[in-house]
Amino acid sequence: MKPDRDWIALTLAVGLCTALNVIVAAILYDAIKDPANAGISENATQILTGWGGGIVGILGAVFGYKAGQNSGDGRGGR
């Protein structure tokens, strides 16, 4: 892999984690400000869970592949 791809993947990871943290902070702020009407719908919860899990899966595959290529385990990988 090229080093540019690593930086792009890392930048995407940081950006997506930041976005998810902003969403969680907004939900917590709403819960503190108005506890009676706070929270998000069940559908939105499922969407955020799927989105976050998908991102973790993709980033895990990218960084896991990179780690495997650099491991030098003697199996004849590229």
**Is 41 within the bounds of a domain?**
yes
Q: Report the domain count for the chain.
A: 1
Decide if pLDDT at 72 tops 80.
no
Q: How far apart are CA 56 and CA 58, in angstroms?
A: 6
Query: Which residues fall within 8 angstroms of residue 38, CB to CB, at 6 or more apart?
Result: 27, 30, 31, 32
pLDDT of residue 1: 52
User: What's the pTM?
Assistant: 0.55
Decide if pLDDT at 77 tops 70.
no
Domain extent, residue 17, equals 11-67
Nearest residue to 48 via CA among 27, 68, 30:
27
Question: SS3 for 72?
Answer: coil
Q: What is the pLDDT of residues 8-61, one digit of tens each?
A: 878 887 888 888 888 888 888 888 888 888 777 888 788 878 877 887 888 788
Decide if pLDDT at 76 tops 70.
no
**Is 3 within the bounds of a domain?**
no
**Is 62 within the bounds of a domain?**
yes
Average pLDDT, integer, range 68-75: 70
Question: SS3 for 1?
Answer: coil
